């Protein structure tokens, strides 16, 4: 089944809401101190609130199919974070010993 152009635009609008709110605007609020570091509690709360808000905005942006399409907003924004964050290979290279990797997993 082929999607109609209005449906494709609704999907793009829902994804764009997530990219802008979570991927671009929320990054400074929840960014860890180092590029490969973990987020703190405050950053996690900000991310949860913005994920809910982006889903709500995407719900109305993709009306009348918002229930099905609006949930694409948060994963789209988090995909931008995955691209901008450090990769796992670099993290493993920075922590070559077993003790360092265990400490990394514990944090």
How many angstroms separate the Cα of 46 from the Cα of each of 15, 26, 41?
19, 8, 9
The model's pTM: 0.71
Contact 55, 74 (CB under 8 A): yes
Q: Which two tokens stand for residue 60?
A: 């109305």
Residues 29-83 pLDDT 10s: 777 766 666 677 888 888 889 999 999 999 999 989 989 999 999 999 888 887 8
Give the orientation angle of helix 5-18 with respect to helix 73-84, to 10 degrees: 50
């Amino acid at each position: 089944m082929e999607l109609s152009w209005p449906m494709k635009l609704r999907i793009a609008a829902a994804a764009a809401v997530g990219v802008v709110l979570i991927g671009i605007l929320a990054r400074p609020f929840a960014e860890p101190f180092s590029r490969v570091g973990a987020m703190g509690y405050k950053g996690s709360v900000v991310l949860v609130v913005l994920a809910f808000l982006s889903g709500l905005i995407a719900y109305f942006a993709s009306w009348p199919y918002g229930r099905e399409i609006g949930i694409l907003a948060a994963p789209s924004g988090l995909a931008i974070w995955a691209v901008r964050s450090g990769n796992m290979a670099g993290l493993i290279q920075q922590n070559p010993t077993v003790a360092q990797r265990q400490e990394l997993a514990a944090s």
